[in-house]
A = this chain, B = another copy of it.
Amino acid sequence: MKAFLNRRYHFSASHRLHAESLTDEQNRNTFGKCNNPFGHGHNYIATVRLSGPVDARTGMVANLADLDRFATDNLLGRYHLVNLNTLPEFEQVVPTTENLAIEVHRIFGGFTDAFLESVDVEETPNNSFTYVTPSI
């Protein structure tokens, strides 16, 4: 019996949307107020979706305690209460929530107790972005 496990993690961070490859005017036209030099921020919610067989003895897809420990070390320790633009992964890449979802997906690729199906990152209660593990 295969099941899906969905787990949400909360972190607060700031970002500024600005692309080096665009002119100042293009940046303002593309990103609007999100391009202001001092940035702004969000309460992000990352939802990690894993799948796998339900272990017949434990009744679990993966142990949430292990997943939470992994998330504390690798997700929250990295993204909670920081400015995303100061991180190496967003030096060349605009820290939109699309790109943030891809990075969070890359992080949870390191959790190998179950198959990583997808990562969704909610930027505000009204918008979110999802990155699905590509099928080979």
Contact partner of A80 among B15, B33, B63, B81, CB < 8 A?
A: B33
Interface string of A90-107 (1 = CB under 8 A from B): 000111101101100000
Quickly give the copy total for this chain.
6
Cβ B38 vs Cβ A14 within 8 A: yes
Determine the main DSSP class of A at the interface with B.
mixed
Interface string of A1-33 (1 = CB under 8 A from B): 111111111101111010101100000001111
Cβ B32 vs Cβ A96 within 8 A: no
Contact partner of A132 among B4, B6, B134, CB < 8 A?
A: B4
Residues of B within 8 A of A82 (CB): 33, 36, 38, 40
Contact partner of A95 among B1, B8, B59, CB < 8 A?
A: B59
The interface on chain A, measured as residues whose beta carbon lies within 8 A of the other chain's beta carbons, has a size of 64
Q: What is the CA–CA distance of A32 and B81 in the complex, to the nearest angstrom?
A: 10
Contact partner of A94 among B12, B58, B81, B102, CB < 8 A?
A: B58
In the complex, what residue of chain B is closest to A30 when comparing beta carbons? B58
Cβ A60 vs Cβ B13 within 8 A: no
In the complex, what residue of chain B is closest to A81 when comparing beta carbons? B33
